[in-house]
Amino acid sequence: MKILKEPWLQEKLIKINETVNLKGFVDIHLHTSPDVKPRICNDLEAAQQASDQGMQAVVIKSHAEPTSARAKIAEDISSMDVFGGVCLNNSVGGLNPLAVDAAAKMGGKFVWLPTISFSDMEIDFKEGIYKKALEEILQIISQNDMVLATGHLKPHIIFSILDDARSHGVKRIVINHPLTSVVGATIDEQKEMARYAFLEHCFVACMPLHDYLSPDKVAEAIEGTGYKRCIMATDFGQKHNPYPINGFKLFINSMMERGVTQKQINTMCSKNPKDLLY
């Protein structure tokens, strides 16, 4: 298996492999093929690579189609826990309760609110046009004990969703990559969100072809909100980025270089995602 394209990263990863152990860890944000965008590995490869590292589980996500059934196939073959769900973009009918109900019946665990389609829907979100559909979706999530993920929603909309989710009895909530430009939550906003949800920090935000965010900012956010309410994930799978398991190791090493302890890493990469999923 090719490790990384960049020689200096490959050299660094060889050293990290000796110190970073992924056993029992969970990555709640992977993008795999088949997909409309080029991916570095498919569902089965991602699951098998994670299984080989002793990881507990992975979550596969697609912006374009449900991954509930795909996750089940990958789980059966890899003999590790693989979760999927549905992302409510235009390709599945947007905020479509029927798509959520189908995902639930197929064993889907995650319901991601709009990501790549959010810019098309933002005004309607602000005007409350989706209120009835959202209520139906939140009810299905609650009844099936699924995870509500906030996708690319902006902070003011996220806070409204959090209020509605609590009123419908939704217990499992994660704020996707709050530091990225598509979300843009301040530390104070993240602190408030953390009262009701886990904050997911993804290493993809630090990559050159993405936000190119300094890892210092991630470490500062973890310290500011408290590691007990944070989850580390990769959001990897893009062809131009490392394999997800390698990205996970690089992320962990990057945080430890900035003073994050092994205990905190274990909480954010194992305990917290397991609390969210199980």
Distance CA 103, CA 105 (A): 5
Domain extents in the chain: 25-277
Does this model's pTM top 0.75? My answer is yes
Cβ distance 273 to 75 under 8 Å? Answer: no
User: What is the rounded distance in angstroms from the CA atom of residue 161 to the CA atom of residue 273?
Assistant: 21
Question: ω into residue 34 within 30 of 0, thus cis?
Answer: yes
**What is the CATH architecture of 25-277?**
Alpha-Beta Barrel (3.20)
Q: With DSSP H G I counted as helix, E B as strand and the rest as coil, what are the percentages for the chain, rounded to 5? A: 50, 15, 35
Q: pLDDT digit string (tens) for 114-167?
A: 999 999 999 999 999 999 999 999 999 999 999 999 999 999 999 999 999 999
Tokens representing 102? Answer: 């189908």
Q: Which among 241, 230, 224 has a CA at the least distance from the CA of 271?
A: 230
**CA–CA distance, 23 with 19 (Å, rounded to integer):** 12
Mean of the per-residue pLDDT values of the chain: 95
Residue with tokens 């990225």: 180
Instruction: Judge whether 69 and 84 are in contact, CB under 8 Å.
Output: yes
